[in-house]
Amino acid sequence: MKKYSFKNDYSEGAHPAILQRLMETNLQQTIGYGEDEFCDEARAWIKTYLQKDSAIHFVSGGTQANLIVISSILKPHESVIAVESGHIAVHETGAIEATGHKVNTVPTIDGKMTIEEIQNVLNLHTDEHMVKPKMVYISNSTEVGSVYTKAELTAIYDFCQANQLYLFVDGARLGSALTSSKSDLTLEDFANLTDVFYIGGTKNGALIGEAIIINTPQLNEDFRYHIKQKGGMLAKGRLIGIQFAEMFKNDLFFEMGKHANAMAKKLAEGIAAKGYDFLTVPSSNQIFPILPHPEIERLHEKFEFFVWQKIDDEHSAVRLVTSWATPEEQVDHFLNQL
């Protein structure tokens, strides 16, 4: 019997409603490169949530979004600040530094950035013999499943504004973050409290696709040139527009995030009830229980998941990720086996 995977939230294809819409529009002819009526429809729906006339661009994936945004904004001598566990610092094969921009990393306990850590980087970089920090990069949710509150995001944004830094938010898992019980943020807040952010579709029920939202107008100048140069301008851009239109015209985007969170919450509560602790407080669709090594080996016989971090000689934290499609019976099965 094939093992059930809790490795990630993109193992499945796409929500049936998205596939249905792709089929219904399959033989319609459109112009290309994201300038078609479906992409325009998606932009219009997203803007109803933003309540702002931000520029919206569609690309295929998160690493591509991070690379295009950061490389388009920063000058060659400028750097981006990220936490040590940040996606651009760990899981993108050096994509940011390969295009000439240093990533200044700072330590973190819960995966979240603080203004004190940003200030420490600024204090260390004093003259033209060093890179000049110019951007702060954060993820919501973070790499360890934590989510930002409105007060935390506001504090970071205000600090960035006061210190002439751009704030860029990686929203690969924004669907889960926004629907977390620990979040009080909305898409409108992100439009007002960031220079750029993106809405992840790949990890929230789409086949592929991320929507880059540029809230500071001057950063949008020539942005499509950067998309093209970095290989992100799809001839069949309609494929991403159709998906985002379907996700946002009827709140499907948020419904999928809520389901993923509900399954993660049930997992976390069941694991806690058996006496196990967590690396970070369960907040979104990624949870990190700390388990004995023999138990991890036994669970691996029936489930796929990542061993995230060694805690001591006898225990490690594992990562369990739920998705829009996670069946409740698989959550029950895992808890019964634990």
Question: In terms of domains, do 210 and 310 share one?
Answer: no
pLDDT the model gives residue 135: 98
pLDDT in tens, 259-285: 999 999 999 999 999 999 999 999 999
Q: Among the three residues 223, 248, 273, which one is the final residue of a domain in this structure?
A: 248
Question: In terms of domains, do 82 and 150 share one?
Answer: yes
pLDDT the model gives residue 295: 97
pLDDT the model gives residue 157: 98
Q: Among the three residues 248, 263, 296, which one is the final residue of a domain in this structure?
A: 248
Question: In terms of domains, do 123 and 238 share one?
Answer: yes
Question: In terms of domains, do 268 and 199 share one?
Answer: no
Question: In terms of domains, do 240 and 325 share one?
Answer: no
Question: In terms of domains, do 317 and 190 share one?
Answer: no
Q: Is the pLDDT of residue 1 over 80?
A: no
> Helix or strand or coil: residue 257?
helix
pLDDT the model gives residue 198: 98
Secondary structure (DSSP) of 275-333: T--BSS---SSEE-BEEEHHHHHHHTTTEE-EEEEE-SSSEEEEEEE--TT--HHHHHH
Question: In terms of domains, do 73 and 149 share one?
Answer: yes
pLDDT the model gives residue 182: 96
CATH of the domain at 273: 3.90.1150.10
pLDDT the model gives residue 336: 97
Give the chain's domain count: 2
Question: In terms of domains, do 117 and 231 share one?
Answer: yes
Question: In terms of domains, do 312 and 205 share one?
Answer: no
Neighbouring-strand partners of residue 78: 132
pLDDT in tens, 59-91: 999 999 999 999 999 999 999 999 999 999 999
**Quick one: which of 316, 293, 237, 287 has its CA closest to 6?**
287
Q: Which residue has the tokens 């704030």?
A: 167
Which of the four pLDDT bands, split at 50, 70 and 90, describes residue 30?
Answer: very high
CA-to-CA distance for 206 and 241, rounded, in angstroms?
11
**Quick one: which of 180, 190, 169, 123 has its CA closest to 146?**
180
**Quick one: which of 53, 55, 114 has its CA closest to 83?**
114
Question: In terms of domains, do 162 and 283 share one?
Answer: no
Question: In terms of domains, do 66 and 213 share one?
Answer: yes
CATH of the domain at 23: 3.40.640.10
* Mean pLDDT over the full length of the chain: 97
Which of the four pLDDT bands, split at 50, 70 and 90, describes residue 320?
Answer: very high
Q: Is the separation of the CB atoms in 271 and 289 below 8 Å?
A: yes
Which of the four pLDDT bands, split at 50, 70 and 90, describes residue 335?
Answer: very high
Q: Among the three residues 193, 223, 248, which one is the final residue of a domain in this structure?
A: 248
* Average pLDDT rounded to a whole number, residues 12-17: 98
- Which structural domain range is residue 141 located in? 16-248
Question: In terms of domains, do 240 and 283 share one?
Answer: no
How deeply is 23 buried, as exposed, middle or buried, from its count of CB atoms within 10 A (0-12, 13-18, 19+)? exposed
- This prediction has a pTM of 0.97
**Quick one: which of 218, 202, 147 has its CA closest to 180?**
147
Longest dimension (CA), the chain: 60
pLDDT the model gives residue 7: 98
pLDDT the model gives residue 184: 98
